[in-house]
Structure 1
Amino acid sequence: MTPTDPIRPGAALTDPNLREALAERLTRLEAAAATGGRKEKQSLEDARDTWSLLAAFPWQRLNYRYGRWQSAQTFWKAAITLGLWESYHWERTTESFQVLDPYTGARLGEFYPQSELKRRVGRPYTETDLLQMPGGTLEFAGDPASIGVYRLVGGDVDTISLSWCPWLNNVTLRKGIAMLRAGNADRLPPPYQFVDLDLLDKYRAWFADEPDKPQRKAPYASEVNPYRPGGYPRFGRPR
């Protein structure tokens, strides 16, 4: 059944072709969820949240950067010295991507790519990642600081992916989407935990800026491993 969310003026779902394609997809997923298991039910929940976000928000074109060098503790050296001497090295990681203001380059938020959701959660996040390293342009609907959906520019319905900030509880964020769906809110709630991207990026080097491993020494700082933007999580599940 097609969701009853009010489609707001200028929202992505004012596009009749996108609306029809997503409605057909929801019908298929509802049939699969009726006889399927956890994967099928989660896929349906993702599709309903996607519909609600697209009914409430317009597409906005943002730049993104994907892939980076991360300062990580060299554990074997710490083990040998019983933690009395710490050492850090540069480690390649693709566990998240950042969205950027296309005009100013300001960092607007950071999200899990589908490959990382598949690694952490497994099913139903089995779609092939469309993001390219070291970066590019995408279309985003939602809150760039917390949760939303994205696709490459002009992509069809099967290329739309749901994601959220790694440092915020997706259960809490999805309650905000449910409020939109029920008409109890006119926008997503602000992130409940501040993510300091300036501080976070002190210990990272993005491939878009530094494609090769940095020649400088990896930052030595005790907060590299336990660091969470804004401190340790106080709401919901930890990262």
Structure 2
Amino acid sequence: MPAERRSRQESRAVLILGGTQEAADLAARLVEDAPQWRIVTSLAGRTQAPRPLPGQVRSGGFGGAEGLARYLADNAISALVDATHPFATQMSANAAAAAAETATPLYRLCRPPWQPRSEDKWQIVDSLQAAAARLPEASTAFLALGHQHIGAFARRRDCRFVLRMIDPPAAPLPFDATLVLGRPGLSPDAEADTLAAHGVTHLVCRNSGGRIGWSKLEAARRLGLAVIMLARPPEPAAAHFDDVETVVAALIAADC
């Protein structure tokens, strides 16, 4: 490798927009495979006690696309990896705009969406409002959405809701609901026990993809529950990768 390119490779800094398991896995792989690089993972700061991550970690917003562009320039970031949640549309839009403004290479790491099986009872909708409207009267819905996405269901006073959150809500919920604190179950058996214990008739979730989230869909299939599935929004233009291995290979091969 020419000395100039070797120097660039050794001084690289990668900013990972995180909050997903894929982002954590990517940080771990880069710290291991490219220990000479500076790896920074940015978290939104919504979780009170996030899991420890390898490399450097920053918490909190940037102040929109303009603030992110300023951070990229001020910190000599040589590659930006958007590994945020598939439904984090504003952050992905900010990443695309900031990368374009600063001419920073942008990589999008996003796990593939789930696909229904023949025995699944999915109803696919394109908005939270449509999901709320699909619920039959007197149903018991498990909202696997996160507290910031449940407002659309407040008008369905004829339904009963079960919510799962990692941390207790900082503000009152917009409607009465049974609250289950904790992370998603790692096995379909654990998820089936939770759904059955609360008399759930409908599972409402976003098509986030991923191994852990799939357990609740497998549980719903076993129990014969209807699933109201929110389809993914369009992805911004970027080099797209489905898994950690391919984006690591691309970053290592890049001459920037």
TM-score, structure 2 normalization: 0.27
TM-score, structure 1 normalization: 0.28
